[in-house]
Amino acid sequence: MSAIPWGETKLVQGNEAVALGALAAGIDFFAGYPITPSTEVAEILAREMPLIGKKWIQMEDEIASISAIIGGSLAGGRSMTATSGPGFSLMQEGLGYACMTEVPLVLVNVMRGGPSTGLPTQVAQGDVMQARWGTHGDHPAIVLAPSDVKECFDLTITAFNLAEEFRTPVILMPDEVIGHMREKLTFPKEEEVCITPPSSPDVPLEWYEHYHTSATGVSPMAHFGSGYRFHVTGLTHDTHGFPTRKVDEVISKMNRLKQKITRRLDILENNMLHEVEESKIVIFCYGSVYRSALAAQKILAKQRKKVGIFRPVTIWPFPDRTVKEMLDSKDVILVPELNQGQIIHEVERLTSDSVRVVPLHRYDGYEITPEQLVAAVLEVI
């Protein structure tokens, strides 16, 4: 029995595709708290997971939800939660703990208007910087932003795989438009889906270090109850997981947390480029805005005006090198965002003064339309 219509083509909602992607990735444990516009993810999993003996629980709040999935992941379950804006803020505590203790998990944040309660049912991309820097202290961040329903499915599987691969939380951030839209989705065949199996150490019990220093910065993780007994703490710790304040051990831990991402950027980087090389004007966008950019590109092409599109699918870590290489020679980079300007600062940071980086903000709860983008491009030509 499977909830996933393998190989079939269906009309599917974005949030539904996230839930089905989680099932395809072999999710063992989901904990969550109801919040618009992410609730469908929890609802679909509440229906499907008990049918196959998987664990699902609605906790008393978002802090408890992320705490529960960290516990679940440490006990050997592939774990996920789903939330939105205010819930994402509450989850920052647990997110930082999971980064520090290097626990794989998937956090889905369907972006709605903020700050605070904001616009619960409407679209925004205001959590982009919070996803990078929301929890206190220096920490790694892997954040994926789908732009269509198919990607909601695929990137959820990717998120589970990257979480295992890097032993860190992975955040999937569809904006509300992507989470709630319905479109045609052709599911892969079951055998086409690649799942990174959970790691497990092969050393004798007494040799096990929970944070062993390896070439990649990531070592196989044992689980509670597996016979490897280890300690986990949010305090800065040594390779065995015990608290330390020794300068060399603190530096080693902090460097490894950073370098496990920076040394393998090639695995994480994922950009979609459309006519970037041959265009002097490029639209830099992500999430639902990308869909409007594709439409705008077509409209402009009919007017014999060439515009490229650069879209990071992985928004954190930011594709620094590629942006510098490909965009620093452009005349204009238009950065449309459903916020008052967040990712634009990264683009500005990586381009010379000779490049005009032009913002296009929308933060009234509605999407950026192709017409808006066309008008913005015509203005800067």
Partner 1 sequence: MPARLPYTYKYLRSKKKFPHVWCPGCGIGIVMGSIIRAIDSLGWELDDILMVSGIGCTSRMPVYVDFNTLHTTHGRALAFGTGAKMANPKLKVLAVMGDGDSMAIGGNHIIHAARRNIDITAIIVNNNNYGMTGGQFSPTTPQGAKTSTTPYGMIEPDFDVCKLTEAAGANFVARGDVYHVVELDGIIKSALSSSGFSVVEALSPCPTNFGRANRQGDAVNMMELLKNNTINIAQAAKLPKDKTEGKTVRGVFVNRDEIGYIERYQQLCDRVSSGVKK
* Residue 240 beta carbon to partner 1: minimum distance, rounded to whole angstroms: 9
Asked if 67 is part of the footprint of partner 1 (rule: CB under 8 A), the reply reads: yes
Tokens linked to 319: 């594709």
What's the rounded Cα separation, in Å, for the pair 199 and 337? 38
Q: Which of 213, 242, 269, 322 binds partner 1 (CB under 8 A)?
A: 242
Minimum gap (Å) between residue 127 Cβ and partner 1: 21
List 21, 37, 72, 217, residue binding partner 1 (CB under 8 A): 72
Q: Which of 40, 73, 67, 34 is nearest to 55 (CA)?
A: 73
- The single residue among 8, 225, 306, 331 that binds partner 1, judged by CB under 8 A, is 225
Decide if 160 contacts 25 (C-beta within 8 A): yes
Host H or E run for residue 263: none
- The answer to whether the bond into 50 is cis (omega within 30° of 0) is no
For residues 79-98, which are near partner 1 according to CB under 8 A?
A: 79, 93-94, 97
User: Does 68 contact partner 1 by CB under 8 A?
Assistant: yes
* Residue 235 makes contact with partner 1 by CB under 8 A: yes
If DSSP codes are grouped into helix, strand and coil, which group holds residue 178?
A: helix
Least distance (Å) between residue 293 CB and partner 1: 40
The footprint of partner 1 on this chain (CB under 8 A) covers a number of residues equal to 45
Q: Is 7 in the site for partner 1 (CB under 8 A)?
A: no
The terminus-to-terminus CA distance of the chain in angstroms comes to 56
Closest alpha carbon to 297 in 320, 314, 278: 278
Q: How far is the CB of 58 from partner 1 (least distance, A)?
A: 10
Is residue 378 within the footprint of partner 1 (CB under 8 A)? no
Among 76, 86, 188, 359, which residue sits at the site for partner 1 (rule: CB under 8 A)?
76
> Near partner 1 by CB under 8 A, which window of 64-72, 196-204, 273-281, 313-321?
64-72
Closest CA to 355 of 298, 310, 304: 310
Answer for which of 52, 203, 301, 375 binds partner 1 (CB under 8 A) is 52
Segment lying near partner 1 (by CB under 8 A), choices 180-188, 221-229, 275-283, 303-311: 221-229
Regarding 230 and contact with partner 1 (CB under 8 A), the answer is yes
Cα angle value 77/253/127 (rounded, 5°): 65
Burial (CB count within 10 angstroms: exposed 0-12, middle 13-18, buried 19+), residue 360:
buried
DSSP string over 79-132: EEEEE-HHHHHHTHHHHHHHHHHT--EEEEE-BEE-STT-EEEEE--TTHHHHH
The verdict on 6 binding partner 1 (CB under 8 A) reads no
Site string for partner 1, 8-47 (x = CB under 8 A): --------------------xx-x----------------
- On the CB side of 169, CA atoms within 13 Å amount to 30
Amino acid code (one letter) for 295: A
Segment interacting with partner 1 (CB under 8 A) among 9-17, 34-42, 55-63, 152-160: 55-63
Is 3 near partner 1 (CB under 8 A)?
no
Closest to 297 measured CA to CA, from 272, 265, 261: 272
Which residues of this chain interact with partner 1, rule CB under 8 A?
Answer: 1, 28-29, 31, 50-53, 55, 57, 59-61, 63-65, 67-77, 79, 93-94, 97, 223-227, 229-235, 242-243
